[in-house]
Amino acid sequence: MTRAFNWLIPHPLLTLILTLVWMLLQNELSAGMVVFGVILGVIIPWGTSIWWPDTPKGFRLGKMISYSFVVIWDIIVANIQVAWIVLTVPTSKLKPAWIVVPLELREPEAITMLAGTITLTPGTVSADLSDQGHSLLVHVLHTDDPDGVLDDIKTRYEARLLEIFS
Amino acid sequence: MTPQIISTYLAGLSLIIGSGFVVVGVIGLLKFNDPMTRLHAPTKVGTVGIGMLLAASIVHSYGIGEPSTHELLIMAFLFVTAPISANFIAKVNIHRRACETPPAPPEDDTWSTLNVPEGNIEADKAT
């Protein structure tokens, strides 16, 4: 039974997300559309499963949802901070800096999420990954304390992602 | 105060806040002079700016009684794609040496963008 389920729905979360995306695209809620969404949600992951060779070993959905709320809140705060910097700090007084983040995360999916989060949050853009994937290069717009920013990234985001993908 | 009036005011407020953020993003893009710092303003301010404009659209659609939520999809795709385009622009900046050279990584040899095979360096400089 479990094997049949795994064969039919190799990625349950992807199925759920595809169904949801289909329903949002339709922009109306009707039973027929839900059924069609579920059919699409089953067929697409099944048909593309050969291009998904490695799934991350662990994935905790509950922690992921609380992580999303932290990130959405940080995005709003980040936007106000960056808008303030843009409007008040003159170009000559700006202190940009490179930060190197040593990574404890190893799964490509987790590193991608960390890089995306860093780009969307306070004054930082993730720029590059080292050739073996052990550190992440981050550019900071304006900071007096690069180590503080590094600590923030490590404790606020990477620690949470380590819990999600464990 | 009928729901229609409230929703109109809310939509108007969201439009003002959203366009304010977009304007700040444009100012940031024009004001700074280094390619890497210029990248910051549009990537971040754009997300909330456009997010608020889409929120106005949702509020307005509920106000006139034709609920519409697929703006949420635009927001979701924007949040997923904005970091990727920012990352690519940053990589191009590093590759073209348009910014300060980043410090070397502690564990590995070099950054993947700077990791050009020996024979290609001359051809790389020529372009």
Query: Has the ipTM of the complex gone over 0.90?
Result: no
Distance CA A146, CA A149 (A): 5
The candidate with the shortest Cα–Cα distance to A136, out of A123, A118, A121, A122, is A118
Residue A88 above 60 pLDDT? yes
In a 13 Å sphere around the CA of B63, the CA atoms on its Cβ side amount to 18
If pLDDT is split at 50, 70 and 90, which confidence band does A98 have? confident
Q: How far is A5 from chain B (nearest CA, A)?
A: 29
Q: Are the beta carbons of B87 and A87 separated by less than 8 Å?
A: no
Cβ distance A18 to A44 under 8 Å?
A: yes
| Structure tokens given for B60 | 């307005």
* Chain B contact for A83 (CB, 8 A cutoff): yes
Q: What is the pLDDT of residues A126-143, one digit of tens each?
A: 888 887 778 888 888 887
End-to-end distance of chain B based on CA atoms, in angstroms?
A: 64
Task: Among A75-89, B45-59, B73-87, B95-109, name the one with the lowest average pLDDT.
Answer: B95-109
Cβ distance B42 to B25 under 8 Å?
A: yes
The hierarchical CATH code for the domain A71-164 is 3.30.70
Q: What is the pLDDT of residues B84-110, one digit of tens each?
A: 888 888 888 888 877 777 777 777 677
Distance CA A12, CA A158 (A): 25
- A106: phi then psi, degrees, rounded to nearest 5: -120, -30
* Chain A contact for B47 (CB, 8 A cutoff): yes
Element (H, E) at B36: helix B35-63
Better-scored residue on pLDDT, A103 or B119: A103
Residue A122 above 70 pLDDT? no
Distance CA B56, CA B11 (A): 4
Residue type, A110: A
Residue type, A134: H
Distance CA A153, CA A99 (A): 10
Indicate the average pLDDT of chain A. Answer: 81
The candidate with the shortest Cα–Cα distance to A82, out of A124, A43, A49, is A124
- The residue ranges of every structural domain in chain B are 3-102
Distance CA B100, CA B31 (A): 19
Helix ranges restricted to H, A48-125: 61-88, 108-120
* Chain A contact for B83 (CB, 8 A cutoff): yes
* Chain B contact for A87 (CB, 8 A cutoff): yes
Better-scored residue on pLDDT, A114 or A108: A114
pLDDT at B51: 87
pLDDT at A159: 85
Cβ distance B46 to B25 under 8 Å?
A: yes
Helix axes A12-26, B71-95, angle to 10 degrees: 120
Q: How far is B119 from chain A (nearest CA, A)?
A: 18
* Chain A contact for B53 (CB, 8 A cutoff): no
Largest CA distance in chain B: 73
Q: How far is B116 from chain A (nearest CA, A)?
A: 11
Helix axes B3-31, B35-63, angle to 10 degrees: 170
| Length of chain B as a residue count | 127
Residue A53, Cβ density class (10 Å: 0-12 exposed, 13-18 middle, ≥19 buried): exposed
- The residue ranges of every structural domain in chain A are 2-51, 71-164
Contact list in A for residue B103 (CB cut-off 8 A) is 98, 100
DSSP state, residue A130: B
If pLDDT is split at 50, 70 and 90, which confidence band does A84 have? confident
